[in-house]
Amino acid sequence: MAGEPIVTSGETVRTLLEKQAAIRPRQTCFIAPETGCTLNFGDLLERSRSLANYFRRRGLQPGAHIAWLLPNGLQVYRLFVGSMAAGYVATPLSLLAQAEQLAYVLEHSDCQLIFVGPDHAERLRQALKHVARPIAVVEVDPDREGIDDEMPVSDWSVPAPLSDSPALLMYTSGTTGRPKGVLLTHGNVTAGAGFVSGAHRLAPDDRVLAVLPMYHINAQIVTVLAPLTHGGSLVMPRRFGVGSFWNLADQFRCTWINVVPTMIAYLLEAPLPQGLDLSRIRFCRSASAPLPPEHHRAFEERFGIGVIETMGLTETAAPVFTNPFVSEERKVGSPGLPFGNEARTVDLETGQPLPDGVPGEIQIRGPNVMAGYYKGAEETEKAFAGNGWLRTGDLGYRDADGFYFITGRLKELIIKGGENIAPREIDEVLLHHPAVLEAAVVGVPDSYYGQNILAGVILRPGVVCSEAELRQYCAEKLGPFKTPRVFRFLAELPKGPSGKIQRLKLLEV
């Protein structure tokens, strides 16, 4: 099974940082491979204190919302950890957000200060034209260690946050409607980080290759905050690159890697790395979207690295389920067992818990579950079923061994002729076709059935395949009723920052 959860009850980002700085002040905790810049735990504590002083001198009171529009790098790592440790609320902005969505988030979040890199400054200026209130903007170098006018200090100039103090405000990349601001406390984020460290049996000598964008909860909790609980380190390149991925893992002696299924798909398509030592990599962690079983098995066979499939939500500070650490105990196709929190499946109509093997909505309860949606009392009330149970919106079931299996999403469920069809079932059939690299289906209006099925498909490079061939293949595997009516051959699938496919946007391409 997985290890024991690392208990972080009553902890804050500041207390975790102070503990690591006291125990191992000179141990490296961060590496930027492009520049060679590094930080150790002692450095990170000093930089966080100077950042607190900087905020205070700008007149920002603890609890103020601090935002940034920055790519991965030393600056965003320091701002993320330092702002929370100082008692401010970190508010990362997605680099994928267009000006209209960016303006909404800036207005809704009540942020008072924004840090932006040169490459995104013009887009920010355009967004700010549609924000009624003034917001201070500081342009910074994403790779630089400090900020102009920042001064070193020997102690905190602001009071310590409490475990139930707000720490992180994350806006969900929903497929419809306005983004929702997920408000996570220090207790939430440190619990999530502790669950990751415990589940994967991480220790101070572990180092993760952190290639996910820092405006996503997976990167923030799994690769940045988890090392603060177990004393490990991370290598953070500016972005994921198929050609550089394995070289970085080897060069910086990483012991684990954290990816999403899309990355696994592209790594499988790339040439096999030659002359590299990957034996130090103990496991590959996959999350943020279901991993197709055929990709899971192919990755393990090709690279000799076991895959631990997991599942998390922004609303749960990332972790919800994880497969066991011991490879023989894992189940391909399942995100695993609850770890650190409780889970159950309930009937969609009655809300009553269901027995093993019966599908329903999956609900979660635990110390990592969000405080609520920012300025969204009605949305928060709808999100909870009572007694702390969060409605995930995921459909699935638990088997006799306690493993959960995801069959779809409530808002993505296709209802054709009164019959419920889980999109993932069709996705996986298409992914079995030798010509298909990626695939996703969505429901489309149909005057006869109410809804029918549209499939977005990316073919493997250099491969030719017709719509008729895919239709026949699906009919053989699924039967005519579940075979997509429409196939669209695409260059890429619409995805959010985590790599999760945004199915409803298939209707727009």
**What are 65's two structure tokens?**
């919302």
2 vs 228, more confident: 228
Share of the chain above pLDDT 90, in %: 78
* Distance in angstroms (rounded) separating the CA atoms of residues 114 and 103: 12
Would you state the pLDDT for residue 86?
A: 97
Would you state the pLDDT for residue 389?
A: 98
Question: Which residue, 63, 42, 39, is CA-closest to 146?
Answer: 39
Share of the chain above pLDDT 70, in %: 97
Contact 498, 216 (CB under 8 A): yes
Of the listed ranges 29-38, 387-396, 497-506, the least confidently predicted one is 497-506
Residue count (the chain):
509
* Distance in angstroms (rounded) separating the CA atoms of residues 254 and 489: 37
Judged against a pLDDT cut of 80, whether residue 33 lies above it is answered with yes
Average pLDDT estimate for 241-249: 96
Q: Each residue of 460-503: pLDDT tens digit?
A: 999 999 999 999 999 998 888 899 999 999 999 988 777 778 88
Domain 413-508 has CATH 3.40.50.300: no
Average pLDDT estimate for 61-72: 97
Task: With residue 345 as reference, give the H or E element that holds it.
Answer: strand 342-346
* Distance in angstroms (rounded) separating the CA atoms of residues 333 and 271: 26
Average pLDDT estimate for 116-142: 94
Contacts of 278 (CB under 8 A, 6+ apart): 246, 249, 250, 303, 304, 305
* Distance in angstroms (rounded) separating the CA atoms of residues 125 and 90: 20
Average pLDDT estimate for 77-97: 95
This prediction has a pTM of 0.87
Judged against a pLDDT cut of 80, whether residue 419 lies above it is answered with no
Contact 457, 430 (CB under 8 A): yes
Of the listed ranges 134-143, 176-185, 465-474, the least confidently predicted one is 176-185
Would you state the pLDDT for residue 234?
A: 98
C-alpha 253 chain-centroid distance: 24
**Domains of the chain by residue range:** 13-398, 413-508
- What mean pLDDT is reported for the chain? 92
Average pLDDT estimate for 151-166: 92
Average pLDDT estimate for 422-446: 91
Would you state the pLDDT for residue 174?
A: 43
Alpha helices (H) in 86-120, listed in sequence order: 99-109
Would you state the pLDDT for residue 144?
A: 86
Q: Each residue of 274-332: pLDDT tens digit?
A: 899 999 999 999 998 788 899 999 999 999 999 999 999 999 999 999 999 999 999 99
Question: Which residue, 46, 48, 6, 52, is CA-closest to 25?
Answer: 46
Q: Each residue of 319-365: pLDDT tens digit?
A: 999 999 999 999 999 999 999 999 999 999 899 999 999 999 999 99
Task: With residue 390 as reference, give the H or E element that holds it.
Answer: strand 390-398
**What are 167's two structure tokens?**
């720490």
Specify burial of residue 395 (Cβ count, 10 A radius: 0-12, 13-18, 19+). buried
Alpha helices (H) in 154-200, listed in sequence order: 186-199
- The fold for domain 13-398 equals Rossmann fold (3.40.50)
Residue 1: pLDDT band (50, 70, 90) is low
* Distance in angstroms (rounded) separating the CA atoms of residues 208 and 187: 23
Would you state the pLDDT for residue 290?
A: 83
Look up residue 39 and give its amino acid: L
242-251 vs 261-269: helix axis angle to the nearest 10?
Answer: 100
329 vs 416, more confident: 329
Listing DSSP states for 245-266 in one string gives HHHHHHHTT-SEEEE-HHHHHH
- Using DSSP's 3-state secondary structure scheme, residue 279 falls into coil
Within 10 angstroms of residue 13's Cβ, the number of other Cβ atoms is 28
Residue 177: pLDDT band (50, 70, 90) is low
